[in-house]
Each structure stands twice: as structure tokens, then as C-alpha cells.
Amino acid sequence: MSSSRSKVVQIYKHGFVDSVDDSVAVEEPLQITLDGCPIAVVMRTPCDDADLVKGFLLTEGILTDIDAVSRIDLEQKLNHALVFLKDDVEIDYQRLQRNLYSASSCGICGKATIESIRQEHPEITSTHQVSSSVLLAIPDTLRAAQKTFGETGGLHAAGLFSLDGDLLVLCEDVGRHNAIDKIIGWAATNAVDFSKVLMQVSGRVSFEVMQKAHAVGIPIISAISAPTSLAVDFAEESGQTLIGFLRPPRFNCYAGSQRLS
């Protein structure tokens, strides 16, 4: 399934009308079923679905180790991800109570209780640093890799970078939190050391962005736009470094400045 599709649109400009082919980002539901138990429906751009599911299971605190997954079947039924766990893995399904709808704009909107929004993970103590020159080069690298955004203008992006500025993985999606789950799922599959990477997002930084990064131990999060107040508070509590308004030649550091060299 493609991440974009063609649509004939009417362009109105300077009093004239013209019909042209345009590309729009694809949005489709994906139901995630865990050992026969439906746990969530996410509205996503259909690409990198296996990585999306893996990242979702990790960042939502459902699994702590992706090796617990035996296989993910994406072929049996359209827009369904059937996840099968290894025989010795136990899941507390009562704790997973959550509405079966997660909007593309906000993954925590489907949480069943306020208590389930915050997850318990240890404070991040990584002492690895990133230089300001590396940070300032990241937005251009991210933008250059956003192929579908270039076609449609309608997708968020998230990327993982080494602390030397090398792009390890980039994913796009209609939901910012989905793009994050995709890169985290890819990184977990490829045994990336999360304590030695930086996560860059294309828009603002919300509480959930920080929480998803914290769930797997990512110490540095940066974005081209603003953080929310709760994202800043969370960064301070979790020991993360939070960079906002990363727009060369400047950026703001809201928490964790000790990791900037």
C-alpha cells in the first residue's frame, strides 16, 4: 500500500481555475491484536507497519523487550496486525485497558485512565553529549530525507541520529507518535543502543513525544518547533535533554543542557 495517492484538484489562483494532479498522504486504520486480544486501533500512513507495531508495544509499556514477539502477521487481513508472543511471555491485559481508537494526532487520547498516561521508567542518566554544530545540521538532513512530505506536504517525520549527526533511520506518518513508534521499532529490531542516539521530530514536542523516547531510554530529543509545558516538565523529571526551535543558526535548550558540548 502506497503512502500517497494521486487526486485531481482544482487550483484557484489570480482569478483563474485549473485542474491538476496532486498527491495526498494516505491515512488508514491499523488494528493491533495481541495473541487474539485487540488492544488498539491507530490511524497511520501504511508503511513500515511492522516497525510501527513493535515501537507501539515498547513505548506503550506493553513489552519491555521486542524479543518477546514471535511474529507479526500483516498479510492475513487488510489493515490488521496480528501479533504473536513467545509461549513464555505473560501480559497483564487488565492493565492494557484503553479505548480501541487512537487518533493520528494524539496517541494518548485513547488512554482509558489518567493514571495510564504516565509510565514508570527509570531516570535517564546517559552522559553522552552532542555538539551544537551537529544539532544545527540535523534539520536539513531530516528535511532532505522526507520523500513523501515533499510530494504531499501532509506528513510528520521522526528520525534517529548518531551523536555524530549520521541519520540512522527516518520514518514519516500522518501521526507524529506513529512516526516515532516506527523509528523505535526499527531501532529495537536492529539492536541500536538508545543511550547513544538523538531523536529529531519535524513539529512540536508534546508530553507523549517525550514519554515515548523515555520508554526506551533516548536521552536527547530535538524539534524544529516548540515544546509544550508538560513536555518541559517531563524532560526535567526524566533526566532528558530537550531542544526546541532548532532552526539554524539557533535553538533553545529547555532541559538537560549538560549533554550539549
Options 37, 47, 106, 253, the catalytic residue: 106
Indicate the residue type of 183: I
CA distances from 101 to 108, 111, 115, 221 (A): 10, 9, 18, 27
Return d(Cα 227, Cα 215) in angstroms, integer: 18
Rounded CA-CA distance 20/6 in Å is 10
Q: Are 56 and 185 in contact (CB under 8 A)?
A: yes
DSSP designation for 239: T
DSSP string, 150-219: HHHS--EEEEEEETTS-EEEEEEESSHHHHHHHHHHHHHHTT--GGGEEEEESS-B-HHHHHHHHHHT--
Known catalytic residue: 109?
A: no
Residue 103 near residue 110, CB atoms below 8 Å: yes
- Tell me the three cell numbers of residue 185: 521499532
Rounded (10°) CA dihedral 117, 118, 124, 129: 40
Active-site annotation, residues: 106
